[in-house]
């Protein structure tokens, strides 16, 4: 069995147009069962559009520069954050020298930034078509 893809907005427009024409023709021929069916198709298309609009409006919006991350970090996120200082940043002698002249607070802030960046990068990525970027 093949899985069908959702109808596009253009396909729904076409279906609605056909259903309106079908209802009009069926009523002219006094074929009320067909007219009722065509009317039911119109109602279904309009309801589907309304549901899609509501779903789209409720989807989370993730602005550029932001990411959705778990409320409770995963083990991988914690490990990556904890090991952030052991990575590339301290392999560069100039970066190490700049770090050494920083105050304790500046060093802590920089380590927190590295930790956060590593944790966000390690966060599980979920492709969700409902999430707007």
pLDDT at residue 131 greater than cutoff 80: no
| Residue 26 DSSP symbol | H
Residue identified by tokens 């021929």 is 29
Kindly state the tokens that stand for 103. Answer: 């105050």
So what's the pLDDT on residue 67?
86
The model's pLDDT over 6-34, given as tens digits with 9 standing for 90+, comes to: 888 899 999 999 999 999 999 999 999 99
pLDDT at residue 130 greater than cutoff 60: no
So what's the pLDDT on residue 103?
94
CA dihedral 106, 107, 112, 113 (to 10 degrees): 70
So what's the pLDDT on residue 132?
52
Q: Nearest 5 degrees, angle CA 120-CA 124-CA 127?
A: 115
The model's pLDDT over 52-98, given as tens digits with 9 standing for 90+, comes to: 888 888 877 888 888 888 899 999 999 988 888 766 656 677 877 88
So what's the pLDDT on residue 123?
92
pTM (2 decimals)? 0.49
User: Are 110 and 99 within 8 A, CB to CB?
Assistant: yes
Across the range 94-112, mean pLDDT stands at: 87
């Amino acid at each position: 069995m093949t899985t069908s893809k959702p109808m596009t907005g253009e396909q729904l427009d076409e279906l609605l147009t056909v259903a309106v024409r079908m209802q009009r023709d069926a009523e002219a021929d006094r074929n009320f069962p067909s007219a009722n069916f065509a009317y039911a198709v119109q109602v279904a298309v309009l309801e589907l559009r309304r549901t899609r609009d509501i779903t789209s409006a409720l989807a989370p919006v993730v602005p550029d520069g932001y990411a959705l991350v778990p409320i409770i970090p995963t083990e991988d996120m914690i490990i990556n954050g904890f090991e952030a200082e052991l990575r590339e940043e301290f392999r560069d002698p100039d970066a190490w020298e700049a770090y050494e002249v920083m105050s304790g607070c500046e060093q802590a802030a920089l380590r927190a930034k590295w930790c956060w960046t590593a944790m966000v990068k390690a966060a599980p990525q979920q492709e969700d078509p409902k999430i707007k970027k």
